[in-house]
Structure 1
């Protein structure tokens, strides 16, 4: 089995090489263009694509992964973020990323992750799952009828947030500026008593699922 690895960090690459099973071959690329070129020409050779999300340009890297998924929807991607971000995790899982793990994951844990993902499940990582459960419990206490107090535009924004869309994509879809999207979000957070995108996304997903 071969895995395509996009990592500009030498230490992370070295660690992956040390913890991966002996029967798995890793192929490293250091630029997004090389990821596209490799998958376009030999995508069938790679069962997984590992992507390290470094702190520098973290948000851009997340959007790069989202774009990559849209071009290669059947490629199993596992991300290794170097920081904890509920919003980023939700966005990545919403577009079909198969899992997220700590960059310096242990060998046994990585074997487990690959086994879980290979079975068709997703791997979120202990910290993210705990945060999601905690956030879900909080959200469950929020009256969904509060979404009914939103304006038509605010409801549209909330619906797009539930899909994991970025402010930029929402702005393009609604033909408004990103500043206007942010203004809508500020108003939505206040009206729904939600604190961040994840809480709003969970609330909106629950709301729209019962409509």
Structure 2
């Protein structure tokens, strides 16, 4: 497996090479333009892209990653921010980033991160994703065209998700079983073309939550 890495920090780069699994090849580039050129020329060569978000240019790097995700939506992307930012995390997950990790992540945890992403999930931990949704709690948005296909019950489930409720809490709130909640969510994700709870929550909420 090959991973394309945009990383201008030598210490972090050295650490990544120490914790990456045997058989995985890291390819380092220094500029965003190099990332784009390589992925355009060889879109299937790199299974993942690792992006280190430098503190000095943090806000710009967040938007740079967002632009790559918009241009190459099928590319798996993991970001390694140099500072904690709830708004940046919301922004990055909303554009399709698959995972967010500490720059000096441990070897076993990095292996787990890639395994979780490979299974189709977002890495950040369920508690972290739940916290993102809850901390961005705002009144429900005006009707969104992507939500028009939902039934009344499905819309209720989607609104509960946007409030940060778990499946168990949604079941209690709507007086249905957890199994029914899961069935509704499967249908909702398909109809709204969202892949997880966070993406759905951001769809239901006003766009201002990702500023």
Give the structure-1-normalised TM-score: 0.64
> 1:19 matched to which residue of 2?
19
Tell me: CA distance 1:127–1:11, structure 2 relative to 1, closer, same or farther (3 Å). farther
Compared CA separation, residues 121 and 13, structure 1 to 2 (3 A):
same
Cα pair 1:101 1:125 within 8 Å, conserved: no
Please give the alpha-carbon distance, in whole angstroms, between the structure 1 residues aligned to 2:202 and 2:29. 39
Matched, 1:205 2:188: no
Deviation at 1:23, TM superposition (A): 0.9
Shift of 1:115: 0.1
Contact kept in structure 1, 2:51 and 2:79, CA below 8 Å? yes
Report the Cα distance in structure 2 between the residues aligned to 1:51 and 1:143, rounded to whole angstroms. 33
Q: Shift in Å at residue 73 of structure 1?
A: 1.0
Number of the residue aligned with 1:107 = 107
Q: In structure 1, the residue corresponding to 2:47 is in which secondary structure?
A: strand
- Root-mean-square deviation (Å): 2.7
- Structure 2 counterpart of 1:57: 57
Q: Distance in 1 between matches of 2:39 and 2:54?
A: 22
Report the secondary structure of 1:11's partner residue: helix
Equivalent residues, number: 151
Q: 1:143 to 1:59 in 2, by over 3 A?
A: closer
Instruction: Report the secondary structure of 2:56's partner residue.
Output: coil
Indicate the residue corresponding to 2:74 in structure 1: 74
Aligned to 2:86: 86
Structure 1 residues 128, 45: CA separation in 2 closer, same or farther (over 3 Å shift)? same
- Residues 77 and 99 of structure 1 are in contact (CA less than 8 Å); yes or no, is this contact kept in structure 2? yes
What CA deviation, in whole Å up to 9, does each residue of 1:144-194 have, x standing for no partner? Answer: 5xx78xxxxxxxxxxxxx9xxxxxxxxxxxxxxxxxxxxxxxxxxxxxxxx
Query: In 2 relative to 1, CA 134–10 (structure 1 residues): closer, same or farther, beyond 3 Å?
Result: same
Structure number with higher helix proportion: 1
Contact 2:90–2:132 under 8 Å retained in 1: no
**Partners of 1:58 and 1:84 in 2: CA distance:** 10
For residues 127-158 of structure 1, the C-alpha deviation after alignment (integer angstroms, 9 at most, x for no partner) is: 8436426526xx3xx765xx78xxxxxxxxxx
Instruction: Name 1:118's counterpart in structure 2.
Output: 118
State the partner residue of 1:129: 129
Structure 2 portions without partners, runs of 5+: 143-161, 163-199
